[in-house]
């Protein structure tokens, strides 16, 4: 392992101007939205050191102590591409992510020439852990990887103060063989570990205190009292259909993975369905299956990451958020949220997030970019005031390809907004 410490973080004077939609008094029924990271218009500033970001992608949001929320993201410097110079940055809110309460940009890892991404965060009550992948800046495609550990696994960690805010410099440690098996040429599954992916999004803290990070073809976990992290390999023969992963603990106690079906979606016609597996850390997981409700409806997957959330309270609710273009389209817009009351078996209520319009990030002329669209990667949390907090990518449409600025919107809404006036199961 190679321990590193990034430069100490000074107070950030830059507070980016945001376009806000204020939350009314009845926050349980009316959502709010604001621009959290504005691509092409925000920078990280630490004294004389400054990094201007072309785009922000792959959000990961967690709640720490009290009302504090932390939103991590990839800060992409030169363009919106998956390769090149990419930093890990974050903002904090001391008031449950309400509009106008976010800090300026702070840094986890900046100044590396490499690409660092797929942030996946979890909090154990005292320490914030952030897993991510790192790869050489010169690589421009998957074809550049030729070794099982080319796409490295790293862990950043920071203690928190009484308010749940990171206390200063982050400790970064490379995690190697302890978190993924060697690439074995005789492996009948032909796993390609060199194109690894952590999350991205949020890990979970189980009811017994165990921390779990979803990763490609495995769960990374740390039980209370453990001094290091371990991995559980998912060995089902259909595991290679999956890619970027989500995880939650169902109300019945077992674990639920709802993963991107990237390789299965390469077929003709493409699968375009989420793949789901359930199980436990000790007992293993059942094989992945297309998510298919008794009525025949599926959760869509246009070859994109998505997010899940166990929403504590009564009735028991599980949420799924992802793109829903319809048909066989691979578009990542519009975004739709689903709600389940039976631990993810059925999803009776669903609603387009666009039913509550979000503000537009600024265009390159400094005015709202009316041509932008919401859609892509996302991450959800439950706030201290019992709202859903959702960070979602937003892409400008006045450009194309890697030159298009990407931003991140933060939404707040109560699960009853999804039900939209329809009755929910009674409490209890």
- Give per-residue pLDDT as tens, 357-394: 999 888 777 777 778 899 999 999 999 999 999 999 99
Q: What is the pLDDT, as a whole number, of residue 267?
A: 63
pLDDT in tens, 192-223: 566 788 999 999 999 999 999 999 889 999 99
Cα 382 to Cα 365: distance, rounded to the nearest angstrom: 35
Contact of 361 with 371, CB cutoff 8 Å = no
Q: What is the pLDDT, as a whole number, of residue 28?
A: 56
Q: Is the peptide bond before 334 cis (omega within 30 degrees of 0)?
A: yes
- pTM > 0.85: yes or no: yes
Q: What are phi and psi of 73, to 5 degrees?
A: -160, 165
- List the Cα angle 103/389/365 in 5-degree steps: 55
Contact of 415 with 376, CB cutoff 8 Å = no
Mark the ranges of the chain whose per-residue pLDDT is less than 50.
Answer: 1-27, 188-190
Cα 119 to Cα 282: distance, rounded to the nearest angstrom: 26
Reported in sequence order, the residue ranges of 77-159 that DSSP labels E, i.e. its strands, are 86-93, 106-109, 115-123, 127-135, 152-159
402 three-class SS: helix
CA atoms within 13 A on the CB side of 361: 31
Q: Are strands 55-63 and 86-93 parallel, antiparallel or unpaired?
A: unpaired
Tell which residue, 383, 329, 321, 378, has the closest CA to residue 352: 321
69 three-class SS: strand
Contact of 45 with 205, CB cutoff 8 Å = no
Q: How far is CA 124 from CA 156, 203, 206, 275, in A?
A: 14, 11, 10, 28
Q: What is the pLDDT, as a whole number, of residue 215?
A: 93
């Amino acid at each position: 392992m190679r321990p590193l410490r990034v430069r100490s973080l000074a107070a950030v004077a830059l507070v980016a101007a945001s376009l806000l939609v204020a939350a009314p008094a009845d926050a349980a029924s009316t959502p709010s939205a604001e621009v959290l990271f504005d691509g092409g218009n925000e920078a990280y500033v630490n004294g004389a050191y400054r990094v201007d970001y072309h785009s922000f992608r792959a959000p990961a949001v967690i709640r720490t102590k009290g009302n504090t929320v932390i939103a991590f993201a990839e800060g992409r410097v030169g363009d919106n591409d998956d390769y090149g110079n990419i930093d890990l940055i974050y903002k904090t809110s001391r008031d449950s992510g309400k509009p106008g309460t976010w800090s300026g940009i702070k840094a986890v890892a900046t100044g590396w020439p490499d690409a660092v991404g797929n942030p996946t965060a979890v909090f154990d009550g005292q320490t914030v852990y952030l897993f991510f992948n790192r790869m050489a800046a010169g690589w421009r495609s998957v074809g550049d990887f030729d070794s099982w550990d080319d796409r490295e696994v790293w862990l950043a960690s920071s203690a928190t103060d009484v308010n749940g805010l990171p206390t200063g410099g982050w400790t970064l440690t490379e995690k190697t063989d302890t978190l993924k098996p060697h690439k074995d040429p005789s492996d009948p599954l032909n796993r390609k570990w060199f194109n690894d992916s952590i999350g991205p999004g949020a890990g979970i803290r189980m009811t017994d205190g165990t921390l779990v990070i979803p990763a490609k073809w495995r769960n990374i976990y740390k039980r209370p009292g453990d001094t290091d992290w371990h991995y559980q390999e998912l060995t089902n023969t259909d595991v290679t259909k999956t890619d970027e992963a989500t995880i939650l603990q169902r109300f019945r106690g077992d674990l639920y993975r709802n993963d991107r079906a990237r390789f299965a979606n390469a077929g003709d016609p493409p699968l375009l369905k989420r793949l789901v597996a359930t199980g436990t850390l000790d007992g293993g997981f059942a094989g992945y299956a297309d998510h298919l409700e008794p009525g025949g409806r599926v959760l869509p997957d246009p070859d994109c990451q998505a997010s899940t959330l166990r929403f504590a309270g009564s009735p028991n609710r599980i949420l799924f958020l992802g793109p829903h273009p319809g048909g066989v389209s691979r578009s990542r817009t519009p975004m739709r949220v689903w709600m389940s009351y039976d631990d993810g078996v059925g999803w009776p209520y669903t609603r387009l997030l666009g039913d509550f319009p979000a503000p537009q990030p600024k265009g390159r002329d400094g005015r709202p970019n009316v041509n932008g669209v919401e859609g892509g990667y996302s991450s959800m949390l439950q706030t201290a005031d019992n709202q859903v907090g959702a960070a979602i990518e937003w892409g400008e449409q006045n450009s194309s390809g890697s030159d298009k600025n990407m931003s991140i919107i933060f939404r707040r809404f109560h699960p009853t907004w999804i039900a939209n006036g329809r009755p929910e199961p009674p409490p209890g």
